[in-house]
């Protein structure tokens, strides 16, 4: 009889990765608002303070700028901090430390110093947290040389990519969509890593490529099932890594299907889909396209509090189905 596959939630997978990293390396420690006694705003850190002590799971004051600065300094001195922003939106208060310091120190010191730092960002809409607590700002950070930006969509990848990020010598921005925290999936026990530079083909297809990020990956997979009922074969790619971006997987897929739909939650204008589209337009896949590229992003507005308006402001499964169908049928 085959062994039963162990399933964990996305949040459990992250907590397990943090615990494993702290057990393997005494230099690893956690920082963030309410991550200790309270266990984190989304209960991701759970009982880690009880297990590892207040010296390694540190409740920080309500100052993202100060916390990020301490994390950067600790990384420069040889520690491996993991700093949690309670909401990704609060990173706006710490952009100086992230963009002007962490991202540039290795370059400005000629490689003589590195910043082995992970910053965790609970992000995205769907929880009724309104405009200042629901944004998807990953494209901001993906614009900055010196930062690595990842956005896993499954519990398996959340654990493996977080362990890889903690071991990386450079600052890694780790985005976790809040609606994924309760989703479950198979997660191996013990230590393993996932690469920080590779996309994953979640479903193979032949008619249209759907490139998705974060919560849009399960929505794209659901859309692909509905499209299959119409006779449309959709290939779904989980981008996973925004910087660096896996251009080879994307180019190979689009060259095969000859159509591309980019689905992401951040504002459509200047979002991740714009970069994916431009990269395909500049590649050999461009001459293979049989339809214009379609970008399906968030509305050009702050995220509403009203649940119906909130859903309308970001792509949902019917929107993905309609976009893929339009691409295959040659309509916009």
Q: What is the mean pLDDT of residues 42-64?
A: 95
The verdict on 178 and 207 lying in the same domain is no
Q: What is the mean pLDDT of residues 30-51?
A: 94
Residue 283 CB contacts under 8 Å (≥ 6 apart), including other chains: 247, 251
* Residue 49 placed within a domain: yes
pTM of the model: 0.95
- Residue 231: band (very low, low, confident or very high) from pLDDT cuts 50, 70, 90: very high
Task: Name the catalytic one among 33, 64, 235, 275.
Answer: 64
Alpha-carbon gap, residue 92 to 189, rounded angstroms? 36
Residue 44: name the closest of 22, 76, 63, 19 by CA. 19
Residue 8: name the closest of 151, 176, 179, 187 by CA. 187
Kindly list the distances between the CA atom of residue 151 and the CA atoms of 102, 125, 235, in Å, as whole numbers in the listed order.
19, 15, 19
The verdict on 131 and 223 lying in the same domain is no
What pLDDT digit, counting tens, does each position of 65-104 carry? 999 999 999 999 999 999 999 999 999 999 999 999 999 9
Whether the predicted pLDDT of 325 surpasses 80:
yes
The verdict on 149 and 263 lying in the same domain is no
The verdict on 168 and 214 lying in the same domain is no
Task: Name the catalytic one among 33, 84, 133, 176.
Answer: 133
Whether the predicted pLDDT of 332 surpasses 80:
no
Q: What is the pLDDT of residue 330?
A: 76
What pLDDT digit, counting tens, does each position of 282-301 carry? 999 999 999 999 999 999 99
Which 3-state string (H, E, C) describes 89-139? HHHHHHHHHHHHHHCCHHHHCCCCCCCCCEEEEEECCCCCCCCCCCCCCHH
| Among candidate residues 131, 152, 186, the one where a domain is terminated | 186
Alpha-carbon gap, residue 297 to 249, rounded angstroms? 21
* Residue 100 placed within a domain: yes
Active-site residue flag, 156: no
User: Which residue range forms the structural domain that includes residue 311?
Assistant: 200-329
* Residue 192 placed within a domain: no
The verdict on 169 and 206 lying in the same domain is no
* Residue 194 placed within a domain: no
Q: Which strand ranges, in their side-by-side order, compose the sheet holding 28-32? A: 57-59, 28-32, 80-84, 118-123, 172-177, 148-150, 241-243
* Residue 127 placed within a domain: yes
The verdict on 62 and 176 lying in the same domain is yes
Per the structure, how many domains does the chain have? Answer: 2
Alpha-carbon gap, residue 107 to 113, rounded angstroms? 9
Looking at the DSSP bridge assignments, the partners of residue 37 are none
Q: What is the mean pLDDT of residues 95-122?
A: 96
| Among candidate residues 129, 157, 186, the one where a domain is terminated | 186
CATH value at residue 57: 3.40.50.970
Query: What are the backbone angles phi and psi of residue 263, rounded to the nearest 5°?
Result: -125, 120
CATH value at residue 240: 3.40.50.920
Residue 207: name the closest of 184, 224, 190, 189 by CA. 224
Identify the H or E element spanning 29: strand 28-32
* Residue 171 placed within a domain: yes
* Residue 307 placed within a domain: yes
Q: In this structure, what token pair is assigned to residue 53?
A: 């002590």
The verdict on 241 and 118 lying in the same domain is no
Q: What is the percentage of the chain residues whose pLDDT exceeds 70?
A: 98
Alpha-carbon gap, residue 325 to 108, rounded angstroms? 48
| Among candidate residues 186, 213, 248, the one where a domain is terminated | 186
CB count within 10 Å of CB 314 equals 25
What pLDDT digit, counting tens, does each position of 131-176 carry? 999 999 999 999 999 999 999 999 999 999 999 999 999 999 999 9
* Residue 191 placed within a domain: no
Q: What is the mean pLDDT of residues 246-265?
A: 97
DSSP 162-183: HHHHHH-SS-EEEEEEGGGTT-
Active-site residue flag, 64: yes
Q: What is the pLDDT of residue 1?
A: 42
Whether the predicted pLDDT of 331 surpasses 70:
no
Whether the predicted pLDDT of 125 surpasses 60:
yes
Residue 24 CB contacts under 8 Å (≥ 6 apart), including other chains: 191
The verdict on 89 and 204 lying in the same domain is no
The verdict on 178 and 225 lying in the same domain is no
Alpha-carbon gap, residue 20 to 23, rounded angstroms? 5
DSSP state of 42: T
The verdict on 273 and 313 lying in the same domain is yes
The verdict on 38 and 74 lying in the same domain is yes
Yes or no: say if 212 and 236 are a contact pair by the CB < 8 Å rule: yes
CB count within 10 Å of CB 131 equals 15
Helix 247-257 with 272-281: angle, nearest 10 deg: 70
CB count within 10 Å of CB 175 equals 23
The verdict on 262 and 140 lying in the same domain is no
Looking at the DSSP bridge assignments, the partners of residue 31 are 58, 83
């Amino acid at each position: 009889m085959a062994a039963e596959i162990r399933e964990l939630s996305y949040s459990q997978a992250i907590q397990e990765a943090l615990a494993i990293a702290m057990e393997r390396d005494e230099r690893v420690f956690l920082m963030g608002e309410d991550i200790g006694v309270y266990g984190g705003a989304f209960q991701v850190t759970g009982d880690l303070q009880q297990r590892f002590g207040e010296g390694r799971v540190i409740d920080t004051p309500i100052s993202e700028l100060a916390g990020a600065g301490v994390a950067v300094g600790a990384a420069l001195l040889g520690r491996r901090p993991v700093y949690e922003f309670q909401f990704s939106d609060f990173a706006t208060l710490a952009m100086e430390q992230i963009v002007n310091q962490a991202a540039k120190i290795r370059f400005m010191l000629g490689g003589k110093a590195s910043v082995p730092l992970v910053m965790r960002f609970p992000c995205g809409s769907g929880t009724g947290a309104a405009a200042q607590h629901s944004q998807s700002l990953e494209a901001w950070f993906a614009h900055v040389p010196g930062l690595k930006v990842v956005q896993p969509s499954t519990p398996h990848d959340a654990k493996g990519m977080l362990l890889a990020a903690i071991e990386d010598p450079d600052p890694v921005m780790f985005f976790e969509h809040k609606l994924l925290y309760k989703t479950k999936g198979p997660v191996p026990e013990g230590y393993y890593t996932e690469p920080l530079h590779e996309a994953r083909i979640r479903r193979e297809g032949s008619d249209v490529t759907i490139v998705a990020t974060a919560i849009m990956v399960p929505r794209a997979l659901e859309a692909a099932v509905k499209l299959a009922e119409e006779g449309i074969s959709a290939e779904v790619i989980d981008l996973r890594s925004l910087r660096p971006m896996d251009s080879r997987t994307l180019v190979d897929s689009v060259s095969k299907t000859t159509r591309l739909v980019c689905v992401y939650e951040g504002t459509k204008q200047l979002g991740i889909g714009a970069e994916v589209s431009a990269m395909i337009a500049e590649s050999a896949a461009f001459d293979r396209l049989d339809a214009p590229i379609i970008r399906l992003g968030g509305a050009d507005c702050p995220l509403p509090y009203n649940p119906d308006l909130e859903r309308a402001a970001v792509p949902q499964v019917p929107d993905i189905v309609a976009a893929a169908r339009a691409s295959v049928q040659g309509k916009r």
